[in-house]
Chain A
Amino acid sequence: GAVVSQHPSWVICKSGTSVKIECRSLDFQATTMFWYRQFPKQSLMLMATSNEGSKATYEQGVEKDKFLINHASLTLSTLTVTSAHPEDSSFYICSAPGRAPNTEAFFGQGTRLTVV
């Protein structure tokens, strides 16, 4: 079946640095991908919709200058957490739409970011 691969699965970075997370659709093309954030013991919150070849659409309250999203190809979307701080430590997960219309999304494995 369709697979979405997310890399890295975990990352530790120093406060003030930037971290890039990749989300790839392995055997299908995705013009749209979604990015979610999950704080410990909380639900998954939709951060943004990544659109191939155009700007991402951010949900209310998400800082677009801090969470840079690039969707340069039909199989790759990246999320860059810029100038990371400890409060950005979270589980980030991406998803891509199923190949057929009106089918559920496929989720990546998630990336656990720890900022120290």
Chain B
Amino acid sequence: AQSVTQPDIHITVSEGASLELRCNYSYGATPYLFWYVQSPGQGLQLLLKYFSGDTLVQGIKGFEAEFKRSQSSFNLRKPSVHWSDAAEYFCAVASYSSASKIIFGSGTRLSIRP
């Protein structure tokens, strides 16, 4: 069965600092991988996705993620965070046979220090 692990429950970074959110997945084959963001009381917004091809994926709002098969990881990065980036971030996985049946990680809450 597919699973996603986000080891960091809560991260605080200073505004303007770089960010890396960790994500590890468990799946027998190459999965589809996603990062979603959720602001308090809001729905989900897709930041980026990896289906195939270039392992470095560019997303919206200046985010990027790198798929590393050898480490079963899909970490999210941003070179300089803004106060508006404070939110909950979910890494997610789906199988090749059903890209829409998405399994979410436990989430990482990002706080921004002024």
Q: How far is the CB of A72 from chain B (nearest CB, A)?
A: 20
Interchain CA distance A46-B100 in the complex, whole Å: 12
Chain B positions 89-111 with a Cβ under 8 Å from a chain A Cβ: 90, 94, 96, 99-107
Q: Known contacts A104-B34, A104-B49, A108-B43: does B99 contact A43 (CB below 8 Å)?
A: no
| A67 proximal to B (CB < 8 A) | no
Q: How far is the CB of A107 from chain B (nearest CB, A)?
A: 5
Q: Count the A-B residue pairs with Cβ separation under 8 angstroms: how many?
A: 56
> What residues on B are CB-neighbors of A96 within 8 Å?
100
Q: Known contacts A102-B51, A104-B49: does B103 contact A46 (CB below 8 Å)?
A: yes
Q: Known contacts A43-B105, A104-B34: does B100 contact A95 (CB below 8 Å)?
A: yes
Interchain CA distance A104-B44 in the complex, whole Å: 13
Contact A43 B104 (CB under 8 A): yes
> What residues on A are CB-neighbors of B42 within 8 Å?
110
B contact patch SS: strand
Q: How far is the CB of B70 from chain A (nearest CB, A)?
A: 24
> What residues on A are CB-neighbors of B43 within 8 Å?
93, 107-110
Q: Which residues of A contact B (CB under 8 A)?
A: 32, 34, 36, 42-46, 49, 93, 95-98, 101-105, 107-110, 112
Q: Which residues of B contact A (CB under 8 A)?
A: 32, 34, 41-44, 46, 49, 51, 90, 94, 96, 99-107
New contact pairs (13) apart from A34-B100, A112-B41, CB-CB < 8 Å: A42-B107, A43-B106, A43-B107, A44-B44, A95-B100, A97-B99, A98-B100, A102-B51, A103-B99, A104-B100, A105-B100, A107-B43, A107-B44
